[in-house]
C-alpha cells in the first residue's frame, strides 16, 4: 500500500469516527447508566468486587462487572426499566441497592459509596486478604499476578517467564508457548521490535520487582499486530495509581556461584490536571555458563572425534528507566508523553579446551582457547499519545506516535593455541577478533477507534504504519606480525529497511448466551536487505489478509465452550537475515540467511470452562515455510554451525488443562498441563528429505500457603519432557523454586526470600534428530541462586494515578538487539 493510499485510509477512519459519533449521540437518549463505589469494612476502596445489574422484577442478571482499583464501577447502555444493584465478595455479606428506574425523565443514578461488611458465618475466624490470585484464567488470556509473589523477588523477566504455565525458555533465551516458538513479547502492550537473542538480553535486564503482571494470549484478535504464530506475551510493568506524591524503593542481594545485586526507585505525583511518573532500576552481577560439545566428523575415508569443554564467566551492569506525564485536558481528553530506555554493558571470559583424535578418548591434538569479549547496548524510545472519550457510552479514539533508537557494540577476541599429543605447541597460534556495531531506528504511528453500536455490539477500527532502518557492520581482523589486519573476505556491512502498513476492523456482538467476534487485519510489507560488501540486494513487497473469529457459548451458569481461529505471520529477525559469519569459537559458528521468507500460520482452538476455574482447550495449527534453527556439521572444515532455514511445514497439536484448587483456606494450588505434538516436514535438508515429530508435555504447578495475613510461602515447579523442534532433539528439563514473603507496617515494608532451582536440577542437552549428524551439546548454568529483597512503599494511597498506555512501535522493537 502506497503512502498516499494509506493516508486516504486514515482519513476514512477519522471521518467514520466523527460520523458515528453523531449517530451515537442520536441514539444515546434511549439508555441510561448507574454508577457507584464499593468500600470495605475500613471505609477503603474495595477493588475487584463483583457487581451485578439485576432486573428488579425477578432479580435475574442483566450484566456484570468488577469494581476498579479505586472501588468505582459503572454500568452504561441500560435500557429503560426498573433495576437493582447487587455487590458480592467471598467472605462478605451480599449487598443490594435500589430499585433504580431508568426512564426518559431520569437516566442517571448513583448508589453512592456502598460499604461491605464481613460475613461472620463464612469467615469462621479466618481473616480475608484482598489479593489477586497468582494465576487468573480469563476468557481470552491467562494472567500471572506476580506483583506480590515472593518468587519474583530478585529474578528478572526471563526467569519469571520460565515459571509461567505453558511457557518454556531454552538455553539461548528463546521463548515457546505451548510447544511453539514465534511468540510476540510486548511491554505494556508495546511491541519491542527485538530479535529473539536481543529480546532475551533485554528481559534479563528487566527486574522482576518492576513487573505487575504477565498476560498470555494464545489466539490474539485482529486488533493486534499479526506477528507471532504462537501468540502474545504481554509484560505489564508496575504503575503507581494514587493521588499526591508516592513511590517505593527496593534493594536486593543474591548469591549463586557469584554475587548479584539489584535496586530500584519508583516515584509518582498526581494532581487534578496532570500526573508525572518515573522509575529507575539497576542490577549488577556475575554469572557462570558451561558448554560441552562431543561430536564425530564423518567423511568417506575417516572419522575425527571432537571433545570440547567450555566455561564462561560473565559480568553485567544493567539499568532501565521509564518516565512520563499525562495532562488531563478535561474529563474526556488526555494528552500524554512517555519515554523509556536501558543501558547494558559488561564483559565475559571464555576458556575452551578442544581435544581432537582419530579414535574415541584418544587425543592426537588439542586447541586451547582464551576468548574474552565485551558488549554495550543502549536503547531509547519516546511516545506521544492522545486519548479522547467522545461520549458516555464508550466511544473512544486514541492516537500514538513513537520514535526509538537502539545502539549496540560487541567485541570478541579469539586466542587459539595448538598443541600436539604431548601437550607441546604444534604450530603458531591463530588469533583473530570480531567487532560488530549495530544501529536501529524505528518510527511508527497508529490510530484506534472504538464505536459501541449498541449495548451488545462494539466495532473497533484502526490503522498503523511503521518504518525500521538497521545498519549492521562486521569487522573481521587477523593478528599477523603483531598487527591487526582487516580480512576483507570476512568483513561486511548489512543494511535492512522495512515498512509495514496495516489496518484492521473488529466487530463484537453479544447475543443472549453467545458472544461472536469477527476481525480482519490487512498488512502490506516492503523490505530491502542490502549486503553492501557482497553487493547482494533482496527486495520484497507483499500484501496479506489476517482474518480472525472468536465464538463463546454459555451452556449454563457453570459451563462455557469457545472456538477461535486466526491467521498470523512471523517475519525473520533482523539478525537472522544478516549474512555475517559469527564465531562462537574456532570450531563453532553461526551465520545469517538473507533469503529467509516469512512463515504463515493458521491456528484453531476449541475450549471448555467449568465454573471459570477448570479450563480445557484443544488446538491445532499449520505453519508454512516454518523458520527453524538448524545445527549441522561441515565435514570439509570439520566445524559445526547454526543457521535459520525455512522448512516446508509444521503441524502442531496441543491440549491444555489448567485447574486452580483451594485445598484449604490457607492452601491454594494452581496447575497447568500442556500436551503437544509438533510435526516438521521438508523435502530437502542436508541433501535428503526430512520429517520429525514427537509428543511432549509441559507441567507447571504453583503452591501458595497463607501463614498469616502478612506472611506467604510459595513453591513452584516445572517439568518439560523430551521434545523435537526442527532438527533438534531436546532432553527433558525441570526445576523447583521456593519463596517466602513477609510484610510489616500495614504492608508498607516487605521482605521476600527466594531460592531458584533449589535442588540444582536445571541443565540442557541437545542432540540431532538427523541420523547423519552425530553430536551432543550439554549446557549448564548458574541456575541455583538464593536472593533476599526488601521493598518500602511511601506516600499517599488513594485513587488511580498513571495511565496504562500502548504505543505503536512494540512489534518492531521486538526484533532489535539489546544486550550481551
Structure-block grid coordinates of residue 531: 549486503
Q: Give CA torsion, residues 25, 27, 31, 35, to 10 deg.
A: -20
The pLDDT score that the predictor gives to residue 818 is 47
Structure-block grid coordinates of residue 246: 508516592
Nearest-angstrom CA–CA distance, 767 and 463: 45
CA-nearest of 164, 159, 166, 173 to 145 is 164
Residue where the block lists cell 532438527: 727
Predicted confidence (pLDDT) per residue in 650-676, tens digit: 999 999 998 888 899 899 898 889 999
Structure-block grid coordinates of residue 29: 437518549
Mean pLDDT of 200-227: 76
Contact 460, 448 (CB under 8 A): yes
Mean pLDDT of 25-33: 59
Q: Which residues pair with 114 in a beta bridge?
A: 38
The pLDDT score that the predictor gives to residue 9 is 46
Residue where the block lists cell 485447574: 659
The sign of the CA dihedral 636, 642, 648, 654 is: positive
Q: Is the pLDDT of residue 10 over 70?
A: no
Band of the pLDDT at 539, cuts 50, 70, 90? Answer: very high
Greater confidence (814 vs 435) lies with 435
Share the mean pLDDT of the chain. Answer: 84
The pLDDT score that the predictor gives to residue 332 is 85
Compute CA distances 192 → 201, 362, 406, 527, 628, whole Å. 12, 49, 11, 19, 21
CA-nearest of 784, 775, 731, 794 to 754 is 784
**What value, to the nearest 5°, has the Cα angle with vertex 196 and ends 177 and 653?**
25
Nearest-angstrom CA–CA distance, 705 and 739: 10
Predicted confidence (pLDDT) per residue in 554-566, tens digit: 999 889 999 999 9
Contact 411, 385 (CB under 8 A): no
Residue where the block lists cell 571470559: 349
Nearest-angstrom CA–CA distance, 198 and 407: 12
The pLDDT score that the predictor gives to residue 479 is 96
SS3 812: helix
Nearest-angstrom CA–CA distance, 794 and 244: 11
The sign of the CA dihedral 200, 204, 205, 210 is: positive
Residue where the block lists cell 505487575: 212
Q: Which among 21-30, 54-63, 315-324, 567-576 has the top mean pLDDT?
A: 315-324
Q: Is the pLDDT of residue 129 over 80?
A: no
| Pick from 30-34, 39-43, 810-814: least confident | 810-814
Q: Is the pLDDT of residue 11 over 50?
A: no
Predicted confidence (pLDDT) per residue in 325-378, tens digit: 999 898 789 999 999 888 999 999 999 999 999 999 899 999 999 999 999 999
3-state helix, strand, coil in the chain (%, to 5): 5, 65, 25
Band of the pLDDT at 1, cuts 50, 70, 90? Answer: very low
Nearest-angstrom CA–CA distance, 152 and 211: 9
Nearest-angstrom CA–CA distance, 170 and 801: 38
Q: Is the pLDDT of residue 274 over 90?
A: no
The pLDDT score that the predictor gives to residue 455 is 82
pLDDT cut 90: percent of the chain above it: 50
DSSP annotation string for 481-545? TTEEEE-TTT-EEEEEEEEEEEEEEEEEEE-SSEEEEEEEEEEEEEEEEEETTTTEEEEEEEEEE
Greater confidence (505 vs 126) lies with 505
Q: Is the pLDDT of residue 776 over 80?
A: yes
Q: Which among 20-24, 546-550, 799-803 has the top mean pLDDT?
A: 546-550
DSSP annotation string for 763-783? -EEEEESSTT--EEEEEEE--
Counted residue by residue, the chain has a size of: 820
Structure-block grid coordinates of residue 49: 468486587
- Backbone Cα Rg of the chain: 28
| Alpha-helical regions (H) of 599-676 | none
Predicted confidence (pLDDT) per residue in 589-611, tens digit: 888 888 899 999 999 999 998 88
Band of the pLDDT at 203, cuts 50, 70, 90? Answer: confident
The pLDDT score that the predictor gives to residue 651 is 95
SS3 94: coil
Nearest-angstrom CA–CA distance, 477 and 434: 7
CA-nearest of 657, 652, 581 to 623 is 652
pLDDT cut 70: percent of the chain above it: 85
Contact 310, 291 (CB under 8 A): yes
| Pick from 285-294, 304-313, 769-778: least confident | 769-778
| Pick from 155-159, 184-188, 369-373, 493-497: least confident | 155-159
Band of the pLDDT at 48, cuts 50, 70, 90? Answer: confident
Q: Give CA torsion, residues 84, 87, 88, 92, to 10 deg.
A: -120
Q: Is the pLDDT of residue 207 over 90?
A: no
Sheet holding 627-634, edge to edge: 581-585, 588-591, 639-646, 627-634
Predicted confidence (pLDDT) per residue in 457-509, tens digit: 999 999 999 999 999 999 999 999 999 999 998 998 999 999 999 999 999 99
Predicted confidence (pLDDT) per residue in 785-797, tens digit: 999 999 998 886 5
The pLDDT score that the predictor gives to residue 22 is 43
Predicted confidence (pLDDT) per residue in 400-440, tens digit: 999 999 999 999 999 999 999 999 999 999 999 999 999 99
For residue 353, report the phi and psi dihedrals to the nearest 5 degrees. -120, 120
Element of type H or E holding 645: strand 639-646
Band of the pLDDT at 151, cuts 50, 70, 90? Answer: low
Nearest-angstrom CA–CA distance, 565 and 554: 19
The pLDDT score that the predictor gives to residue 255 is 96
The pLDDT score that the predictor gives to residue 122 is 45
Q: Which residues pair with 11 in a beta bridge?
A: none
The pLDDT score that the predictor gives to residue 23 is 41
Residue where the block lists cell 551465520: 591
Amino acid at each position: 500500500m502506497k503512502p498516499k493510499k494509506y493516508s486516504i485510509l486514515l482519513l476514512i477512519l477519522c471521518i467514520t469516527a466523527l460520523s458515528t459519533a453523531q449517530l451515537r449521540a442520536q441514539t444515546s437518549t434511549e439508555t441510561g447508566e448507574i454508577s457507584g463505589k464499593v468500600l470495605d469494612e475500613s471505609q477503603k476502596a474495595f477493588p475487584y468486587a463483583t457487581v451485578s445489574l439485576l432486573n428488579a422484577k425477578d432479580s435475574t442478571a442483566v450484566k456484570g462487572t468488577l469494581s476498579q482499583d479505586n472501588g468505582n464501577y459503572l454500568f452504561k447502555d441500560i435500557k429503560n426499566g426498573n433495576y437493582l444493584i447487587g455487590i458480592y465478595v467471598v467472605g462478605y455479606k451480599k449487598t443490594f441497592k435500589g430499585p433504580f428506574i431508568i426512564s426518559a425523565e431520569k437516566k442517571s443514578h448513583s448508589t453512592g459509596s456502598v460499604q461491605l461488611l464481613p460475613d461472620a458465618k463464612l469467615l469462621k475466624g479466618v481473616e480475608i486478604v484482598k489479593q489477586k490470585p497468582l494465576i487468573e484464567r480469563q476468557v481470552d488470556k491467562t494472567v500471572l499476578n506476580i506483583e506480590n509473589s515472593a518468587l519474583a523477588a530478585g529474578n528478572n523477566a526471563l526467569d519469571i517467564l520460565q515459571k509461567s504455565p505453558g511457557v518454556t525458555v531454552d538455553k539461548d533465551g528463546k521463548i515457546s508457548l505451548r510447544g511453539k516458538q514465534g511468540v510476540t513479547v510486548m511491554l505494556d502492550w508495546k511491541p519491542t521490535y527485538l530479535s529473539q537473542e536481543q529480546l532475551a538480553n533485554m528481559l534479563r535486564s528487566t527486574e522482576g520487582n518492576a513487573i505487575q503482571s504477565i498476560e498470555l494470549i494464545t489466539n490474539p484478535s485482529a486488533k493486534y499486530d499479526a506477528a507471532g504464530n504462537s501468540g502474545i506475551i504481554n509484560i505489564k510493568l508496575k504503575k503507581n495509581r494514587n493521588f499526591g506524591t508516592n513511590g517505593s524503593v527496593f534493594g536486593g542481594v543474591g548469591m549463586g556461584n557469584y554475587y548479584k545485586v539489584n535496586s530500584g526507585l519508583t516515584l509518582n505525583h498526581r494532581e487534578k490536571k496532570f500526573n508525572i511518573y518515573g522509575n529507575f532500576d539497576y542490577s549488577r552481577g556475575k554469572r557462570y555458563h558451561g558448554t560441552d560439545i562431543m561430536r564425530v566428523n564423518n567423511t568417506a575415508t575417516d572419522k575425527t572425534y571432537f571433545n570440547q569443554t567450555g566455561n564462561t564467566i560473565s559480568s553485567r551492569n544493567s539499568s532501565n528507566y521509564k518516565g512520563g506525564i499525562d495532562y488531563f485536558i478535561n474529563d474526556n481528553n488526555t494528552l500524554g508523553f512517555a519515554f523509556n530506555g536501558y543501558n547494558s554493558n559488561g564483559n565475559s571470559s571464555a576458556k575452551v579446551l578442544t581435544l581432537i583424535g582419530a579414535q574415541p578418548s584418544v587425543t592426537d591434538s588439542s586447541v586451547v582457547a582464551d576468548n574474552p569479549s565485551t558488549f554495550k547496548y543502549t536503547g531509547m524510545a519516546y511516545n506521544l499519545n492522545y486519548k479522547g472519550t467522545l461520549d458516555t457510552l464508550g466511544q473512544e479514539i486514541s492516537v500514538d506516535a513513537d520514535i526509538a533508537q537502539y545502539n549496540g557494540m560487541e567485541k570478541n577476541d579469539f586466542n587459539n593455541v595448538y598443541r600436539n599429543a604431548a601437550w607441546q605447541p604444534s604450530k603458531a597460534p591463530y588469533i583473530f577478533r570480531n567487532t560488530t556495531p549495530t544501529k536501529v531506528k524505528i518510527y511508527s504511528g497508529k490510530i484506534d477507534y472504538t464505536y459501541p453500536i449498541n449495548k451488545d455490539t462494539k466495532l473497533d477500527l484502526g490503522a498503523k504504519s511503521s518504518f525500521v532502518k538497521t545498519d549492521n557492520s562486521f569487522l573481521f581482523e587477523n593478528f599477523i606480525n603483531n598487527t591487526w589486519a582487516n580480512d576483507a573476505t570476512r568483513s561486511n556491512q548489512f543494511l535492512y529497511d522495512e515498512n509495514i502498513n496495516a489496518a484492521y476492523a473488529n466487530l463484537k456482538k453479544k447475543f443472549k448466551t453467545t458472544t461472536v467476534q469477527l476481525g480482519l487485519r490487512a498488512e502490506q510489507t516492503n523490505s530491502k536487505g542490502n549486503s553492501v560488501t557482497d553487493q547482494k540486494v533482496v527486495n520484497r513487497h507483499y500484501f496479506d489478509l489476517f482474518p480472525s473469529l472468536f465464538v463463546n457459548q454459555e451452556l449454563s451458569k457453570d459451563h462455557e465452550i469457545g472456538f477461535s481461529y486466526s491467521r498470523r505471520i512471523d517475519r525473520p529477525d533482523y539478525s537472522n537475515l544478516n549474512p555475517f559469519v559469527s564465531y562462537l569459537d574456532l570450531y563453532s559458528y553461526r551465520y545469517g540467511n538473507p533469503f529467509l521468507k516469512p512463515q504463515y500460520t493458521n491456528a484453531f482452538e476449541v475450549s471448555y470452562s467449568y465454573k471459570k476455574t477448570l479450563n480445557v482447550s484443544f488446538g491445532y495449527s499449520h505453519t508454512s515455510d516454518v523458520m527453524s534453527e538448524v545445527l549441522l556439521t561441515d565435514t570439509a572444515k570439520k566445524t559445526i554451525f547454526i543457521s535459520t532455514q525455512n522448512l516446508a511445514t509444521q503441524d502442531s497439536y496441543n491440549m491444555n488443562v489448567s485447574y486452580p484448587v483451594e485445598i484449604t483456606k490457607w492452601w491454594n494450588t494452581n496447575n497447568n498441563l500442556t500436551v503437544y505434538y509438533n510435526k516438521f516436514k521438508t523435502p530437502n535438508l542436508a541433501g535428503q528429505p526430512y520429517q520429525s515429530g514427537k509428543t511432549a508435555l509441559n507441567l507447571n504447578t504453583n503452591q501458595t500457603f497463607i501463614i498469616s495475613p502478612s506472611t506467604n510461602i510459595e513453591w513452584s515447579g516445572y517439568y518439560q519432557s523430551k521434545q523435537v523442534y526442527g532438527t533438534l532433539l531436546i532432553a527433558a528439563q525441570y526445576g523447583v523454586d521456593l519463596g517466602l514473603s513477609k510484610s510489616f507496617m500495614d504492608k508498607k515494608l516487605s521482605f521476600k526470600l527466594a531460592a531458584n532451582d533449589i535442588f540444582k536440577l536445571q541443565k540442557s542437552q541437545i542432540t540431532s534428530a538427523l541420523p547423519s549428524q552425530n553430536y551432543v551439546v550439554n549446557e549448564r548454568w548458574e541456575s541455583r541462586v538464593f536472593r533476599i529483597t526488601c521493598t518500602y512503599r511511601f506516600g499517599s494511597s488513594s485513587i488511580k494515578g498513571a495511565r496504562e498506555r500502548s504505543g505503536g512501535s512494540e512489534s518492531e522493537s521486538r526484533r532489535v538487539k539489546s544486550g550481551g
